[in-house]
Amino acid sequence: MSSYSFPLDEALTYLKDLISIPSVSGEEQAIGIYLEDKLRGFGADQVSRIGSEDRFSVCAHITGSTPGPHILMTGHIDTVPPGDGWTCDPFTPLLRDGRIYGRGSNDMKGGISIILTVFHWACQHREQLSGRLSVVLVPDEEKFSTGVQQVLQSGFSADFALSAEPSYGKLIIGAVGKVLIQGDFIGKRAHGSEPQNGINAISEAAVLTAHLNQLPLPACSAAEPQPYVPLRIQGGETTYSTDIPDHCTILINKHTVPGESWDYIYSDLNQLVQDLPLKCSVSFQKKSPFYPPYALSEDHPELLRLKSLYEQVLQHPVQMIWDDGVSDNNCWVGTGGIPTVCLGPSGEGMHGPNEWVSVDEIQQCGQTYLEYILHSKS
């Protein structure tokens, strides 16, 4: 272990600033400007934007004094809306009992504060850094992951990445994927008093929805079978009508495991249509967002080095696990081919009221990040 200690007070200052800047998904411009100014002020070799003027990813890079791998530190800058039920102001940071409360504190401004602090340290201690260190902070993770997709489309790549999503005490090295499926049902219009002369698209969609649980669900060694989850069914006229509805659309969420491709899912759904059988015309299409499942090799050398350092900081073994949800990491790995490990401070209240992050976990995760970037000196 190095003789350097993670500067916790600096990280908490950044965290309080970040909580004070509302950044609900779709409204990330102000926090993007804050982050850009900070990274530029640290003395980064390069700071740039990728995206539109009002919604952009912030990218910063620094090159160390000796050769080494290109390491990325990343996270998302958007949050969900504050919602109801708070007993404190969601945009006024509150430090109490070793916790910092505020919207986004846990998901994931606590992690962003670590990234800022470690990058600042790297800019001040270039002689201790080998290789290239990049920071990429993206919008829109909570909805469509357009931020990370734009960065990857720009040609960005790295050898290994640390994502500071909340995952304290474990290393997330894989995750399920996600396919959003739209099903369109076309029936036959008829008068409501003569339903036998029509084909009710809503009834047909309801039949298929009720039988989704009969579809086969593949599994893998690291993840449970992932069910089909109907999210919405919508059909008929928008105003009152006695006509039999001749159109209906359903939206289905399907988390996936490796090998469970869109072609596999598409084939199963069409087979179900034939087996029922349905009277109306049915078609399926893949909608945005789409996330491929991913998995890192457990013997990846950078992963093993990170694990060893994290265990030294925590002073106990660390488990490597899969996540049962999707995130930008699915895109970094599955689309960009960048091995990405999720490691960040956690707390409670993610997407709910009274969200908080642990100060101790910021310290320990921050120390691990700091140790990790000291490639040739660790």
Q: 3-state SS of 245-271?
A: CCEEEEEEEEEECCCCCHHHHHHHHHH
Q: Are 153 and 269 in contact (CB under 8 A)?
A: no
Residues catalogued as catalytic: 78, 141
Question: For position 376, what pLDDT does the model report?
Answer: 44
- Residue 45 is predicted with a pLDDT of 97
pLDDT in tens, the chain (378 residues): 677 899 999 999 999 999 999 999 999 999 999 999 999 999 999 999 999 999 999 999 999 999 999 999 999 999 999 999 999 999 999 999 999 999 999 999 999 999 999 999 999 999 999 999 999 999 999 999 999 999 999 999 999 999 999 999 999 999 999 999 999 999 999 998 999 999 999 999 999 999 999 999 998 888 899 999 999 999 999 899 999 999 999 999 999 998 899 999 999 999 999 999 999 999 999 999 999 999 999 999 999 999 999 999 999 999 999 999 999 999 999 999 999 999 999 999 999 999 999 999 999 999 999 999 986 444
Per residue in 83-136, pLDDT tens?
999 999 999 999 999 999 999 999 999 999 999 999 999 999 999 999 999 999
- Write a three-state SS string for the chain: CCCCCCCHHHHHHHHHHHHHCCCECCCCHHHHHHHHHHHHHHCCCEEEEEECCCCEEEEEEEECCEEEEEEEEEEECCECCCCCCCCCCCCCCEEECCEEECCCHHHHHHHHHHHHHHHHHHHHCHHHCEEEEEEEEECCCCCCCHHHHHHHHCCCCCCEEEECCCCCCEEEEEECEEEEEEEEEECECCECCCHHHCECHHHHHHHHHHCHHHCCCCCECCECCCCEEEEEEEECCCCCCCECCCEEEEEEEEEECCCCCHHHHHHHHHHHHHHCCCCCEEEEEEEEEEECCEECCCCCHHHHHHHHHHHHHHCCCCEEEEECCCCHHHHHHHCCCCCEEECCCCEECCCCCCCEEEHHHHHHHHHHHHHHHCCCCC
Amino acid, single-letter form, for residue 336: G
pLDDT at 219: 85
Q: What is the pLDDT of residue 121?
A: 97
**Mean confidence (pLDDT) of the chain:** 96
Beta bridge partners of 163: 74, 342
Q: Which long-range contacts (CB under 8 A, 24 or more apart) does 223-226 make?
A: 223/174, 223/176, 223/257, 223/293, 223/322, 223/324, 224/324, 225/257, 226/176, 226/254, 226/255, 226/256, 226/257, 226/260
pLDDT value at position 221?
A: 84
**Global confidence as pTM:** 0.93
